[in-house]
């Protein structure tokens, strides 16, 4: 091809500076739509949000823009093919729905009336995830302007769902039904963040998740602990013993087979994690917790990013009201969730949890165990060429070296990885202080524009390093 894939930094920055005001005005318009997927009375707003985004993507230049209905809220899909048939295909993922927000939750201003203060844009969705979806619009325009192209250097696809804040109940089916159109060489997820304002980072993976509820049944009804106590099995005791058996004395998960296949951290990864400016006291304040606690032999960052866990999310049984009631309860339940790391198969984990749980219970206690659909872990190796491209593009935008993190949470990105068979890369410019899911959510305007700038370099870098064989 004749035209360049490399973007001149000053050309990119000039372009962004020139279009910055309009870009922010447009984003503010989108943020005014309260697209809260968890609240049915906002269903129309979520639909309006999808339509608004579709129009904006059309105005950006995407030749194909479609609103995809689901059994729940609609997603938006857009395509912009490269004029180079050998270019790689990239699918960008984000979401246009937002968490609930109300002024009285502690917002200083109306959550759906965006305001800029101190170079920060405050609104629900500013960082999670409308802001981070929207930087792709100005980003691709800057990429074209700075390279003199009329089509992107990569085949660009966007999928922006409308139910992420409601656990993406229809996302997997949507991706499966449209797998051919969504086919990509890499997925770029713009729904995470980076380490801090001063430390740009690329996330290389997310943990997976499988969770279950275990219900334990003892007596057919609550019985009197005086008449029967000490002589029949108590399901609340059984539930507690089950939970206590989850971990050994080193806080390591004690379920046989749980760690099967786990990809261990390499020395290089441990060294990279250790380089991050991590302040454990500060981290504990963020965690609202009063001491670290976890698997022996691993640091806090390793524990939350790269180690699988078992956590109790809920436990209940018997009398929980005020005062006392001397019963042996008829039943008890525990909700357990397991975070998974690369190499762990959720189906195998489900099997070993079921086998283990069945073996823990005393005679006279019956159990039921129910698993929710699992989310697989995803991890892109540090030497993957697309990951190197993201890091380079980000480093150019931020004028400093980029480090690597992971994400302890789990997300629908894993469905894209699994269904499409493509590696998942994370490109996010949000910082921990942005207040995702909290009052006064904001995005730092400088960082938002660095997101724009990163994508302006990224498509060219990817195309240059990762061309398809002709």
Residues at the interface with Zn ion (CB under 5 A) = 128-129, 191
The binder of a copy of itself chosen from 131, 219, 346, 460 (CB under 8 A): 219
Interface pick for a copy of itself out of 4, 70, 178, 337 (rule CB under 8 A): 337
362 binds a copy of itself (CB under 8 A): yes
Give the residue with the Cβ less far from a copy of itself, 171 or 457: 171
Binder among 239, 340, 402, 425 for a copy of itself (CB under 8 A):
239
Query: For residues 182 and 334, which CB has a smaller minimum distance to a copy of itself in the complex?
Result: 334
Buried b (16+ CB within 10 A) or exposed e, 266-287: eeebbebbeeeeeeeeeeeeee
Q: Which 390-409 residues touch a copy of itself, going by CB under 8 A?
A: 407-409
Q: Which is nearer to a copy of itself, 69 or 294 (CB)?
A: 294
- Of 178, 199, 225, 388, the residue at the interface with a copy of itself (CB under 8 A) is 225
> Are 175 and 376 within 8 A, CB to CB?
no
Q: Are 334 and 312 in contact (CB under 8 A)?
A: yes
Contact present, 236 and 317 (Cβ < 8 Å) = yes
Could you tell me how far CA 276 lies from the centroid of its own chain? Answer: 21
Residue 228, interface with a copy of itself (CB under 8 A)? Answer: yes
- Which tokens in the block code for residue 463? 């195309």
In the complex, minimum distance from the CB of residue 128 to Zn ion, in angstroms, rounded to a whole number: 4
Q: Quick one: what does residue 464 bind among Zn ion, a copy of itself, none, with the CB cut-off 5 to 8 Å set by partner type?
A: none
- Residue with Cβ nearer Zn ion (385 or 409): 409
Edge-to-edge order in the sheet of strand 442-444: 115-117, 120-122, 442-444
Q: Could you give the string, one character per residue 153-192, with x where binding to a copy of itself holds by CB under 8 A and - elsewhere?
A: ----------------------------------------
Q: Does 209 help bind a copy of itself (rule: CB under 8 A)?
A: yes
Q: Could you give phi then psi for residue 343, rounded to 5 degrees? A: 100, -20
Q: Which two tokens stand for residue 369?
A: 């165990």
**Cβ pair 68, 74 in contact under 8 A:** yes
Measured distance CA(459)–CA(422) in Å, rounded? 17
Least separation in angstroms between CB 35 and a copy of itself: 22
By a kind-dependent CB cut-off of 5 to 8 A, residue 362 interacts, out of Zn ion, a copy of itself, none, with a copy of itself
Overall residue count recorded for the chain in this entry: 470
- Give residues with Cβ within 8 angstroms of 201, minimum separation 6: 194, 195, 276, 402, 403, 404, 405
- Among candidates 217, 122, 18, 202, which has minimal Cα distance to 444? 122
Query: Which one of a copy of itself, Zn ion, none interacts with residue 129, CB within 5 to 8 A by kind?
Result: Zn ion
Among 70, 178, 300, 388, binds a copy of itself (CB under 8 A): 300
Hey, is 169 helix, strand or coil?
Answer: coil
Minimum distance of a copy of itself from residue 39's CB (angstroms): 16
CB-wise, 165 or 453, nearer to a copy of itself? 165
Q: How far is the CB of 127 from Zn ion (least distance, A)?
A: 8
């Amino acid at each position: 091809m004749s035209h360049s894939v490399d973007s001149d930094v000053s050309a990119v920055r000039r372009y962004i500076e020139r279009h910055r005001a309009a870009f922010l005005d447009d984003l503010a318009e989108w943020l005014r739509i309260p697209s809260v997927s968890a609240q049915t009375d906002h269903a129309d707003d979520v639909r309006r949000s999808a339509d608004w985004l579709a129009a904006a993507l059309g105005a950006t230049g995407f030749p194909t823009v479609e609103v995809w209905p689901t059994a729940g809220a609609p997603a938006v899909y857009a395509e912009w093919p490269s004029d180079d048939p050998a270019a790689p295909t990239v699918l960008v993922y984000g979401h246009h729905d937002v968490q609930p927000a109300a002024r009285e939750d502690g917002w200083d201003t109306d959550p759906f009336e965006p305001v800029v203060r101190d170079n920060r844009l405050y609104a629900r969705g500013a960082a999670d995830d409308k802001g981070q979806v929207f930087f792709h619009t100005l980003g691709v325009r800057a990429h074209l302007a700075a390279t003199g192209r009329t089509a992107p250097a990569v085949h660009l696809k966007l999928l922006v769902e409308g139910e992420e804040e409601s656990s993406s109940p229809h996302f997997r089916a949507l991706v499966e039904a449209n797998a051919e159109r969504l086919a990509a060489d890499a997925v770029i997820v713009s729904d995470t963040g980076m380490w801090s304002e001063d430390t740009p980072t690329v996330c290389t993976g997310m943990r997976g998740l499988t969770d279950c509820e275990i219900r334990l049944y003892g007596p057919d009804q609550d019985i009197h602990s005086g008449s029967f106590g000490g002589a029949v099995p108590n399901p609340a005791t059984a539930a507690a013993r089950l939970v206590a058996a989850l971990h050994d004395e080193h806080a390591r998960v004690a379920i046989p087979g749980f760690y099967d296949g786990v990809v261990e951290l390499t020395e290089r990864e441990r060294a990279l994690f250790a380089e991050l400016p991590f302040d454990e006291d500060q981290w504990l304040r963020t965690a609202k917790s009063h001491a670290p606690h976890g698997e022996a032999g691993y640091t806090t960052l390793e524990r939350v990013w790269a180690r699988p866990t078992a956590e109790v999310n809920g436990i209940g049984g018997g009398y929980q009201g005020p005062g006392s009631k001397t019963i042996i309860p008829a039943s008890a339940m525990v909700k357990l969730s397991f975070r998974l790391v690369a190499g762990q198969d959720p189906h195998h984990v489900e099997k070993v949890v079921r086998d283990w749980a069945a073996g823990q219970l005393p005679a006279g206690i019956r159990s039921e165990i129910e698993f929710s659909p699992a989310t697989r872990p995803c991890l892109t190796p540090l030497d993957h060429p697309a990951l190197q491209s993201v890091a380079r593009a980000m480093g150019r935008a931020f004028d400093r070296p980029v480090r690597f993190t992971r994400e302890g949470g789990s997300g629908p990105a894993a469905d894209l990885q699994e269904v499409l068979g493509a590696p998942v890369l994370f490109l996010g410019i949000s910082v921990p202080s942005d207040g995702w899911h909290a009052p006064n959510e904001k995005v730092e305007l400088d960082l938002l524009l660095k997101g724009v700038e990163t994508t302006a370099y990224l498509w060219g870098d990817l195309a240059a390093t990762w061309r398809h064989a002709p």
